């Protein structure tokens, strides 16, 4: 998957930098550059690439449903993932946004949602 290829590329760059630095007898320099590549790659993945990979190229992403809630659905709005969960204890539905880097997370709460209950059968006449 694309996520694994991304991290393989980052690790290959780190190994190449350390190898070149070791051959030049400047391992301290190579370690610093390798650390910079790793931190930059992690920041770029977490704040930019993760949801793009998942949405467009079959990347990997994990989200945990909060305890006591039921997952109802998920949808994409632009590059942001919206998850709908139902909390039976408070009878509310929660729409939670998972944006890039989790910086701008929206949340919508619908009170008296009750989505799991059967609807009454309403007939329109005899």
Residue 50 sits in the same domain as residue 75: no
Residue 17 sits in the same domain as residue 42: yes
pLDDT at 104: 59
Domain range for 50 is 2-57
pLDDT at 121 over 60: no
Number of domains in the chain: 2
Residue 53 sits in the same domain as residue 76: no
pLDDT at 76: 83
Average pLDDT rounded to a whole number, residues 100-106: 65
Any idea what the Cα angle at residue 46 is, between residues 45 and 48, rounded to 5°? 65
Check residue 112 and report its DSSP letter.
T
> Is residue 94 a part of any domain in this protein?
yes
Residue 14 sits in the same domain as residue 43: yes
| pLDDT > 70 fraction of the chain, expressed in percent and rounded | 86
Residue 53 sits in the same domain as residue 21: yes
Secondary structure (DSSP) of 12-29:
HHHHHHHHHHHHTT-HHH
Residue 47 sits in the same domain as residue 21: yes
* Residue pLDDT, tens place only, 18-77: 999 988 888 888 889 999 999 999 998 888 787 777 777 776 777 888 898 888 888 888
52-63: buried (b, 16+ CB within 10 Å) or exposed (e) per residue?
ebbeeeebeeee
* Chain mean pLDDT for the chain: 82
Residue 44 sits in the same domain as residue 84: no
> Is residue 30 a part of any domain in this protein?
yes
pLDDT at 116 over 90: no
Q: What does the alpha-carbon distance between residue 44 and residue 48 come to, in Å, rounded to a whole number?
A: 5
> Is residue 18 a part of any domain in this protein?
yes
> Is residue 77 a part of any domain in this protein?
yes
> Is residue 97 a part of any domain in this protein?
yes
Q: Which stretch of 8-12, 26-30, 33-37, 97-101 has the lowest confidence by average pLDDT?
A: 97-101
């Amino acid at each position: 998957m694309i996520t694994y290829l991304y991290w393989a590329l980052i690790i290959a760059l780190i190994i190449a930098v350390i190898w070149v630095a070791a051959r030049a007898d400047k391992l301290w320099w190579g370690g610093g550059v390798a650390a910079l590549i790793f931190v930059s790659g992690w920041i770029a993945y977490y704040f930019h690439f993760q949801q793009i990979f998942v949405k467009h190229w079959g990347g990997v992403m994990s989200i945990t449903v909060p305890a006591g809630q039921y997952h109802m659905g998920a949808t994409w709005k632009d590059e942001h993932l919206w998850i709908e969960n139902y909390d039976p204890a408070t009878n509310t539905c929660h729409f939670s946004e998972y944006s890039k880097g989790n910086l701008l997370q929206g949340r919508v709460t619908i009170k008296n949602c009750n989505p799991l209950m059967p609807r009454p059968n309403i007939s329109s006449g005899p």
